[in-house]
């Protein structure tokens, strides 16, 4: 919580700058809210900068616009989740919060992920993110929950910084939905 508050103090200007670019380019709404599963399976509204057009009739790959593409590539679309951290719904590090539509699809072992708060980044994100299958993601999430420590959190933090600076291609729009197992 302290780190989140300091983040807002030092990087609030970036949050405002991004919101201003949305307004100047008439890209409304600025934010995207989606119900996600949090600790103990409790639902909360995750907030991000919107990176796709609101035209739901188009495939996701066709709904991109230049600002959203830049934010996805740099992961700056995740900045508003600091608000979720301040509200106690998320943490900096933990398994990524998944959409509520997946709730009935988890196995008992996969539900272990709900023993900790979801995070902006996590062990699965720094070990493949969207390039690994769902089975591997859940294995990595389970590993994180079972081995949670300051040392592991610091490793994830520094690996996240490295990945952010590498500006790897974003392929999140190509990821298949989780269908169970």
| pLDDT tens profile 136-152 | 999 999 999 999 999 99
Q: How many whole angstroms separate alpha carbon 110 and alpha carbon 143?
A: 11
Q: What percent of the chain has pLDDT over 70?
A: 95
Q: Spell out a b/e string for 90-109, using b for 16 or more CB atoms within 10 Å of the CB, else e.
A: bbbbbbbbbeeebeeebeee
Most confidently predicted of 32-36, 58-62, 72-76, 129-133: 32-36
Report the pLDDT value the prediction gives residue 152, as an integer from 0 to 100.
Answer: 96
Residue 89 banded pLDDT, cuts 50, 70, 90 = very high
For residue 63, the model assigns a pLDDT of 78
Structure-token match 């380019």, residue found? 25
Closest C-alpha among 90, 52, 91 to residue 71: 52
| pLDDT score at 83 | 92
The share of the chain scoring above pLDDT 90, in percent, equals 51
Q: Is the pLDDT assigned to residue 64 strictly greater than 60?
A: yes
Residue 125 reports pLDDT greater than 70: yes
pLDDT at residue number 169: 63
| Average pLDDT score over residue span 2-24 | 86
Quote the mean pLDDT of the chain.
Answer: 88
* Token pair for 66: 């230049």
Beta bridge partners of 32: 48
pLDDT attached to residue 146: 95
CB under 8 Å to 73, separation ≥6 — which residues? 167, 169, 170
| pLDDT over 60 (residue 67) | yes
Q: H-type helices in the chain, by residue range?
A: 2-24, 66-74, 81-86, 123-126, 134-146, 150-166
Bridge pairing between strands 31-37 and 43-49 = antiparallel
- What local confidence, expressed as pLDDT, does residue 11 receive? 84
pLDDT-derived band at 68 (thresholds 50, 70, 90) equals: confident
> What is the structure's pLDDT at 170?
64
């Amino acid at each position: 919580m302290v780190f989140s508050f300091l983040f807002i103090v030092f990087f609030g200007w970036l949050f405002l700058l991004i919101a201003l670019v949305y307004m100047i380019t008439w890209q409304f709404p600025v934010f995207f809210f989606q119900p996600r599963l949090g600790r103990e399976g409790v639902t909360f509204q995750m907030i991000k900068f919107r990176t796709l057009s609101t035209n739901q009739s188009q495939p996701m790959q066709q709904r991109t616009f230049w600002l959203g593409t830049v934010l996805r590539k740099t992961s700056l679309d995740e900045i508003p989740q600091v608000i979720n951290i301040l509200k106690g719904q998320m943490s900096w590090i933990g398994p990524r919060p998944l959409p509520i539509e997946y709730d009935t699809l988890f196995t008992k072992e996969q539900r272990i992920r709900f023993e900790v708060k979801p995070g902006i980044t996590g062990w699965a994100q720094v070990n493949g993110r969207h390039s690994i299958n769902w089975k591997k993601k859940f294995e990595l999430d389970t590993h994180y929950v079972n081995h949670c420590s300051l040392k592991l959190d610091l490793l994830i933090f520094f690996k996240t910084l490295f990945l952010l600076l590498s500006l790897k291609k974003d392929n999140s729009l190509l990821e298949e939905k989780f269908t169970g197992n």
